[in-house]
Chains A and B, each alone.
Chain A
Amino acid sequence: MSSVKTQNAFALMAKLEATYGTAISLSAAADGVLLADFADVDFSAFLNDGSRGRAPGGGTRRRVKPSGRVGSMSLPFEAIGGGAAYSASVVPYAHTLFRASGLEATSSFTGGTEFYKYAPEVGPTGLDSVTAEYYEGGQKYQLVGGYGSLSCSVDGPDVPRWMCDLLGIGTTPTDAALPTITGGYPAATLLPPKAESVALTLGLFTAGIVRGFEFDYSRSHDAARKNINSGGHAGYTPGGHSPTMKITVEQVALATVSPWSTSTTLNPYALKDDGQLIVCSLAVGALQYNRWKIYAGASAAALQAQVVDVQDAYDGPTRLWEITVEFKPSSLTLVDSFQIEFN
């Protein structure tokens, strides 16, 4: 009797590709990416499943072999800072997945104010893709030409959970031993910042009791490049994005005049009615080199968020607002609708 395959351990390695869709060699000594849980992996779909339609006598005809395996990985992770002054070698531990998700990185290493900032990138060339290998249950799942999108959420004082939804050209799963990751993981003592002292600025409003938030980059990245000259699958072409943030805050007194907010009052209904552009900034963590913030626009003070939906809600007897804002570019041509900053 063969031994059982267990679902107890996992590992991910990923690296930016030099050439789109060409597998780059991965090393357990450098390319580990720490996940927060098992990935949701689906390698079952093909761009063409080989179906040939109906048989004259009823039933369906025998299939030809399928073409173009789709590799899909939903990768949960935490945004852990570098833990030391940022440099070429000290990067946020989300660096690879952020870049695979269509964010360009800008770094500065001026002593004492080092940072990495991530902002949307749309091409037309130079987009970052990854080769990823995910190990689970004694098997290896590899995809190349991986592009992703990002989301992040937290409900209550917990560690915000990020998700990278990666799509690429899948290969047939194989049996493989779990690699021993010795590079790419943070030290076990380096913990992610919790959402327990979140600093939210919405318009002029800064005194809110924040219950949770959901950020979604909403980057389109599922347009498959079908081909009939090599394997059926040439990868994907990322499209546009429509970043949003839904923030759940306890209700406060309504601001009665434009700009519809003060430090202690807020009127999200009027903000939506007016279509005003406002500041939207949310910071998690306070410790230098292990904190991050996400904000609309090219700076945390930019007026580049618009309230697009307000829902009244409640938690027991406590009244809440679920406020959805969209992040907007500062001009018709710039790609600067939001940034994620680690400093």
Chain B
Amino acid sequence: MLYVLIGDEKVPVPREVDVAGPAAVQGFIDGQTARVAAEAAEAEE
């Protein structure tokens, strides 16, 4: 299993993303980073 730390959150990378290659993994990380940032902004409001 591959995990990526987004802030303090340890997020599992879905297997189909993992085996699809680095570009897919980077896309997943970008999406998760945006999600965490949006959640943080929402919590501040």
- Indicate, yes or no, whether A interacts with B: yes
Listed in ascending order, the chain A residues whose CB lies under 8 Å from chain B are 15-18, 24, 30, 87-89, 99, 104-110, 121, 126-128
Closest to B5 in A: A108
Contacts A17-B19, A18-B15, A30-B21 hold; do A126 and B29 have CB atoms under 8 A apart?
Answer: no
Closest to A110 in B: B5
Is B43 on the interface with A (CB-CB < 8 A)? no
**Complex CA–CA separation, A18 to B21 (angstroms):** 12
* B3 partner, pick from A17, A89, A106, A110, beta carbons under 8 A: A106
Please classify how large the interface on chain B is, using the bins under 10, 10 to 19, 20 to 34, 35 or more: 10 to 19
Closest to B15 in A: A18
* A107 partner, pick from B3, B15, B19, B21, beta carbons under 8 A: B3
Secondary structure of the B side of the interface?
Answer: helix
> Please, which residues of chain A bring their CB within 8 A of the CB of B22?
87-89
30 A-B pairs with C-beta separation under 8 A: A16-B15, A16-B18, A16-B19, A17-B19, A18-B15, A18-B16, A30-B21, A87-B22, A87-B26, A88-B22, A88-B23, A88-B25, A88-B26, A89-B22, A89-B23, A89-B26, A99-B2, A104-B1, A104-B2, A104-B3, A105-B1, A105-B2, A106-B4, A106-B10, A107-B3, A107-B4, A108-B4, A109-B29, A121-B1, A127-B1
> Please, which residues of chain B bring their CB within 8 A of the CB of A110?
5
User: What sequence of 0s and 1s flags, for each residue 1-36 of chain B, a beta carbon within 8 Å of any chain A beta carbon?
Assistant: 111110000100001101101110110010000000
**Complex CA–CA separation, A15 to B21 (angstroms):** 10
**Complex CA–CA separation, A16 to B2 (angstroms):** 11
> Please, which residues of chain B bring their CB within 8 A of the CB of A24?
19
Contacts A88-B25, A89-B26 hold; do A106 and B5 have CB atoms under 8 A apart?
Answer: yes
> Please, which residues of chain A bring their CB within 8 A of the CB of B5?
106-108, 110
Shortest Cβ distance from A327 into chain B, in angstroms? Answer: 20
> Please, which residues of chain B bring their CB within 8 A of the CB of A104?
1-3
Closest to A89 in B: B22
Closest to B27 in A: A88
Closest to B25 in A: A88
Shortest Cβ distance from A33 into chain B, in angstroms? Answer: 15
> Please, which residues of chain A bring their CB within 8 A of the CB of B25?
88
Q: List 14 additional A-B contacts (Cβ < 8 Å) besides A18-B16, A126-B1.
A: A15-B19, A18-B19, A87-B22, A87-B26, A88-B25, A88-B29, A89-B22, A99-B2, A104-B1, A104-B2, A106-B4, A106-B5, A108-B4, A128-B1
**Complex CA–CA separation, A121 to B15 (angstroms):** 15
Shortest Cβ distance from B10 into chain A, in angstroms? Answer: 7
Shortest Cβ distance from B21 into chain A, in angstroms? Answer: 7
